[in-house]
Amino acid sequence: MPVYPDTRGRYSIRIRLQPRALFEEIIMGVRDVVFPPGRQALYEKNRYSPAVRSDRFLFVSGQVGSREDGSPEPELEAQVRRAFENLNAILAAADCSFDDVVDVTVFIVDPETHFERIWSVMQDYWGEAPHPTATAVGVTWLYGFQCEIKVIARIPDNATR
């Protein structure tokens, strides 16, 4: 950062201002929330944001295999597919795709039993290399679901707000 003397002999640092959206988020506490079509009521009921834009990144809340009414798909593979459909709807609402994902965290109930089945279905959505970083975490409970997928994506330069 450039340092400049002022008229009294003191030095100051000139900082390039960030874009307005980042300014609003940092200074005013305004979140740039992304809602997928048709599911806003579900997120408002549960009091969380499905995704938040911050600078050039999209932070997506964990997605489960829930139907439109919030209930889980009964079969494990169907839950994983529905979780990815829900995730992809949020990514699309932010002009992103899974190709823009840089980090994935998967929470799995009873991973010793479910990991291989979940991981095999996930590969259908994973895309081509290079792949995002990935972390799998074993948990004891996910509100009736068997897995949850949370991601961070880089928002493409050509994305509209």
Question: How high is the pLDDT of residue 51?
Answer: 95
The pLDDT assigned to 23 comes to: 55
Domain region containing 142: 18-154
Q: Give pTM, 2 decimals.
A: 0.79
Residue 123 lies in a domain: yes
Length of the chain: 161
Kindly list the averaged pLDDT for each block of 10 residues, start to end, along the chain of length 161.
Answer: 51 50 55 84 78 94 91 96 97 96 98 97 91 96 96 92 68
In the beta sheet, which residues pair with residue 106?
136, 149
- Going from the C-alpha of 147 to that of each of 32, 51, 73, 75, the distances in angstroms are 27, 18, 11, 12
Split into its structural domains, the chain has a count of 1
The per-residue pLDDT for 3 is 46
CB within 8 Å of 109: residues ≥ 6 apart: 138, 139, 140, 141, 142, 145, 146, 147
Whether 160 is in a domain gets the answer no
11 assigned to some structural domain = no
| Residues 137/105, Cβ–Cβ less than 8 Å | yes
CATH number assigned to the domain comprising residue 35: 3.30.1330.40
Strand 101-109's sheet: what is its strand order? 32-34, 51-54, 57-63, 147-154, 101-109, 133-139
Q: Let me know if residue 159 belongs to a domain.
A: no
- Confidence (pLDDT) at 1: 43
Give the number of C-alpha atoms closer than 13 A to the C-alpha of residue 63, restricted to the C-beta side: 27
